[in-house]
């Protein structure tokens, strides 16, 4: 195919929208046309009728996403946006008023349960090593790194599964940095770097080092599937597989109600721990990467707002490790 400037424009226009967004918008437009039987371009009356038809059936957040998809389709095709007409906006306000729904939150992984999971994984790693079970040793070592890094960095599931080994730098005994060329909150695609410290207990740095060393990883996805024979795959874990993986780990570790946890449980767990440990909202926002206090507060369990005033011996968990041997230098992994 001949190279043309028009092809370059299409390529970069496509790159400006995240793949997940493109897929969800395409699905939303297809729902409007195929499932509901609407026509495009759409009138404001048709969009309003579509909303009314699914009010109380679909979540208001889903309807809002459908509106965004329809708006983007009309803008891309050069048609007037019917979703901005006052009629549509007023209907949507009415739906929110008549069908209020509290957002379902993932259950936060509490620090006591993080310790429980880490203890079980440590025992499982030791048992697999003693038995010569390479596959189990790899799997448990990966899971330990994934859970500890996910918790202490407040990562979402999609961040854990998209992390690339070549974008992680580790300074043994000091800390690590994780670079993401693009993230959900990085609308300008400038790239974001997150830091994580080495800890005296439940250390994400040492857990990650042990995993990449055992799996011989220095590039590509940091967290990958492992088959029954102990072969580490080339592809990263799929974000949709993370919920089942975490629930399986928590169940085996004896954590109660494991089926209530999701890919956001690690981030919510860290946010609740930081809140109980006295972090102010600004510090929490800066550490996790939230752009608004509203986003941060959604992750803090309002049912335990007095936790920070109770004497809980958490401080020893976040004390840095003793200084590393001077022969150890920062390494790129």
Q: How far apart are CA 30 and CA 27, in angstroms?
A: 5
- What are the backbone dihedrals phi and psi of residue 180, each rounded to the nearest 5 degrees, phi first? -120, 120
CATH entry 1.10.3720.10 includes domain 5-98: no
In the chain, what are the domain boundaries? 5-98, 111-332
User: Contact 141/164 with Cβ under 8 angstroms?
Assistant: no
The whole-number pLDDT of residue 279 equals: 85
The C-alpha torsion from 72 through 78 and 79 to 84, rounded to 10°, is 40
| Residue-wise pLDDT tens digits, 69-116 | 999 999 999 999 999 999 999 999 999 998 886 666 778 999 999 999
Peptide bond into 9 cis (omega under 30): no
Task: Give the N- to C-terminal CA distance of the chain in Å, as an integer.
Answer: 38
Instruction: Identify the bridge partners of residue 195 per DSSP, sorted by sequence position.
Output: 177
Please give the CATH number for the structural domain made up of 111-332: 1.10.443.10
CB atoms within 10 A of CB 71: 17
Q: Summarize pLDDT for 115-167 with one digit per residue, the tens.
A: 999 999 999 999 999 999 999 999 999 999 999 999 999 998 889 999 999 99
Whether residue 83 contacts residue 48, with contact meaning beta carbons closer than 8 Å, is answered with: no
Share of the chain above pLDDT 70, in %: 78
Convert the pLDDT of each residue in 18-76 to its tens digit: 666 788 889 999 999 999 999 999 999 999 999 999 998 998 989 999 999 999 999 99
- DSSP, res 194: E
User: Fold identical between 5-98 and 111-332?
Assistant: no
SS3 257: coil
**pLDDT at 45 (0 to 100):** 96
* Long-range pairs for 329-332: beta carbons < 8 A, 24 or more residues apart: 329/171, 329/172, 330/169, 330/170, 330/171, 330/172, 330/174, 331/169, 331/170, 331/171, 331/172, 332/166, 332/168, 332/169, 332/170, 332/218
């Amino acid at each position: 195919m001949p190279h043309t400037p028009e092809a370059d424009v299409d390529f970069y226009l496509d790159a400006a929208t995240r793949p997940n967004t493109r897929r969800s918008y395409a699905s939303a437009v297809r729902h409007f046309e195929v499932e509901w039987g609407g026509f495009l371009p759409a009138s404001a009356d048709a969009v309003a009728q579509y909303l009314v038809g699914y009010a109380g059936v679909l979540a208001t957040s889903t309807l809002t996403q459908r509106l965004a998809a329809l708006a983007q389709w009309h803008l891309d095709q050069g048609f007037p946006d019917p979703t901005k007409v006052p009629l549509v906006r007023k209907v949507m306000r009415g739906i929110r008023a008549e069908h209020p729904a509290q957002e379902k939150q993932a259950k936060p992984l509490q620090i006591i349960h993080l310790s429980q999971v880490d203890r079980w994984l440590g025992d499982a790693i030791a048992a697999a090593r003693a038995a010569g079970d390479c596959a189990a040793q790899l799997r448990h070592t990966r899971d330990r790194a994934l859970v500890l890094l996910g918790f202490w960095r407040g990562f979402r599931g999609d961040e854990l599964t998209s992390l690339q080994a070549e974008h992680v730098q580790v300074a043994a005994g000091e800390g690590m940095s994780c670079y993401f060329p693009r993230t959900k909150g990085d609308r300008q695609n400038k790239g974001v770097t997150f830091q994580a410290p080495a800890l005296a207990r439940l250390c994400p740095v040492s857990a990650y080092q042990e995993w990449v060393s055992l799996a011989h990883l220095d590039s590509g996805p940091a967290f990958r599937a492992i088959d029954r024979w102990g072969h580490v795959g080339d592809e990263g874990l799929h974000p949709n597989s993370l919920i089942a993986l975490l629930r399986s780990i928590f169940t085996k570790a004896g954590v109660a109600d494991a089926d209530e946890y999701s890919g956001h449980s690690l981030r919510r767990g860290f946010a609740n721990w930081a809140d109980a440990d006295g972090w102010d909202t600004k510090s929490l926002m800066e550490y996790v990467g939230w752009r608004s206090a509203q986003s941060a507060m959604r992750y803090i369990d309002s049912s335990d707002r007095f936790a920070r005033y109770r004497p809980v011996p958490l401080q020893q968990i976040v004390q840095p490790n003793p200084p590393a041997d001077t022969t150890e230098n920062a390494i790129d992994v």
